[in-house]
Structure 1
Amino acid sequence: MENTAQKDAPKEEGMSMKEFLLKINEWFRFLLSKWLIIVIVGLSGAGLGLYYGLMKSLIIQRK
């Protein structure tokens, strides 16, 4: 059976500015707590991209 109190209650759409800023703050703190992993992955990707770019240009120069 349906609960009529939940059915009749107005649904809140969207969020307030305060809730939005709290959510941004929460994500910022989460990312800040994972800074080492983010730096390691970023540097690894940059290194792999540099290696690929250098190897690709060497292969083209040899042909």
Structure 2
Amino acid sequence: MLGFSADYFNRKECQGCGMCMSICPVGALDMEHCEDGTDRPLVDMSKCIRCTRCMEACEIYKGYHS
């Protein structure tokens, strides 16, 4: 089993756009189907190089950290 971080982003605010997943240069993100019917990102920390491109692409993350 891959080591996914529980909450790399503020996942409960995530709208599941997939921008973070599409911009990741190492494929460290995958979308998880949640109980509320949305898909939210999970980060495989064993692949993540901590480049922060995913956070820069995330409009929700930018709203919290601007």
Higher helix share: 1
Give the TM-score of the pair, scaled to structure 2. 0.22
Q: Which has the larger radius of gyration?
A: 1
Q: Which has the higher contact order (CA 8 A, sep 6+)?
A: 2
Give the TM-score of the pair, scaled to structure 1. 0.23
